[in-house]
Amino acid sequence: MLIPLLKAQPEANVSFRLTSITSCLALLASCGAYYTPVSFVAQGDQIIASGTIDETTLSAFEEVIAQNPEARTLVLQYIEGSLDDDANVIFSREVHRAGFDTVVPSNGLVASGGTDLFLAGNRRVLQPGACVGVHSWAGSGLVATDLPEDDPEHDRYLDYFKDIGVDEAFYWYTLYAAPADSMHWMNTAEANRFGLTTRGAPALSSATECDER
């Protein structure tokens, strides 16, 4: 089962990994401890990534690509979100700048900040059965959907999508796809509507399958 993360605000820099939404809401003070930072494993010309994005992710990525300079494909096996959205966009911009392709394998999953990372790829591939989750963000007493569209709190995400060449319409879509304490699993039509892949999206896994993954 996916453990959803609330997109973090810079003042808090904490998202809450949920063993279940209900239990975490009752234990907000302790939920931030339950996560595994992203780890990278090189396999030929690919780098396999799994975990939660935090402030250590960029340095770990730089270390693995320095040791494997031939690698240019980042396989996102299971990236459930980010602990720190500023760290996420910095890392994702570096993936884009370095010219990496991104792939979510058939048994893979990206959600929240992991989906933002997937979009940083030069070429983006979703294999049949992949899971792609999106939701809104909340933190520091703010709820994204309560803010006007010209509020500067949106700029972190809008600037990032502009930098990687993704239409800002995708950002606004994520805000209303699901609240911050839930997750919407995208279907093929939605993936194609927002150009998530560079070659057309295949059949993605159902919401039930993604929840169990």
- The pairing of strands 138-139 and 184-185 is unpaired
Secondary structure class of 145 (helix, strand, coil): helix
Amino acid 139: pLDDT? 85
**H helices present in 7-56, as ranges:** 21-26, 28-31
Amino acid 33: pLDDT? 58
* Higher per-residue confidence, 17 vs 164: 164
Asked if residue 13 has pLDDT above 80, the reply is no
Amino acid 140: pLDDT? 84
**Which segments of the chain are extended strands (E)?**
39-43, 46-53, 73-82, 101-104, 109-111, 124-126, 131-134, 138-139, 142-143, 184-185
Joined tokens for residue 151? 């509020």
Angstrom distance (rounded) from CA 7 to CA 172:
14
Asked if residue 27 has pLDDT above 90, the reply is no
Residues contacting 123, CB < 8 A, separation 6+: 101, 102, 198, 199
Asked if residue 20 has pLDDT above 50, the reply is no
CB 20 within 8 A of CB 33: no
On average, the pLDDT of the chain sits at 88
Amino acid 5: pLDDT? 47
Rounded to the nearest 10 degrees, the angle between the axes of helix 155-164 and helix 169-177 is 130
Angstrom distance (rounded) from CA 53 to CA 3:
14
What is the residue whose two structure tokens read 């994005």?
Answer: 53
Amino acid 167: pLDDT? 97
Instruction: Please calculate the CA angle 181-166-35 and round it to the nearest 5 degrees.
Output: 35
Amino acid 113: pLDDT? 97
- The pairing of strands 73-82 and 46-53 is parallel
Asked if residue 34 has pLDDT above 90, the reply is no
Angstrom distance (rounded) from CA 24 to CA 33:
11
